[in-house]
Amino acid sequence: MTLTELSTRGAQTPLPAPILTSVQTNPMPATTYQTNLTDRTYNGWTNYETWNVALWINNDEGLYNLARECDCYEDFVNEVGVGYSTPDGVKFADPKVNVIQINSDVFDF
């Protein structure tokens, strides 16, 4: 129906119903599932604390340069200071930090 036909149509005559097109939607939304329920790692690291410490050492230029001067993570913690922590609040000397993993993955210069 053209605009002219609509304007000359009487007030009593109803307009034809609009044609509805169906929109194809996915009835099942995409979901992800944890495939290994016993997996307790954090982004491939032993835990959050280990991941966070490694993240900061690898991505902060000052910490990275200090780590390059140290032979191992224990030396790094002694240089930084036992009471110091990452900007996210994880202490470098936190007992949850997996020192073996940090030494093998971060201090392998």
Q: 3-class secondary structure for 27-40?
A: CCCCCCCCCCCCCC
Mean pLDDT computed over 3-7? 53
Q: How confident is the model at residue 2 (pLDDT cuts 50, 70, 90)?
A: low
Q: How confident is the model at residue 70 (pLDDT cuts 50, 70, 90)?
A: very high
What's the full length of the chain, in residues?
A: 109
pLDDT at residue 5 greater than cutoff 60? no
Residue 99: Cβ within 10 Å count: 16
pLDDT at residue 85 greater than cutoff 90? yes
Instruction: Let me know if 97 is exposed, middle or buried by CB neighbors in 10 A (0-12, 13-18, 19+).
Output: buried
Q: How confident is the model at residue 17 (pLDDT cuts 50, 70, 90)?
A: low
Question: How confident is the model at residue 55, as a pLDDT?
Answer: 97
Does 13 or 99 have the greater pLDDT score?
A: 99
Mean pLDDT computed over 24-40? 60
Mean pLDDT computed over 15-29? 59
Whether pTM exceeds 0.95: no
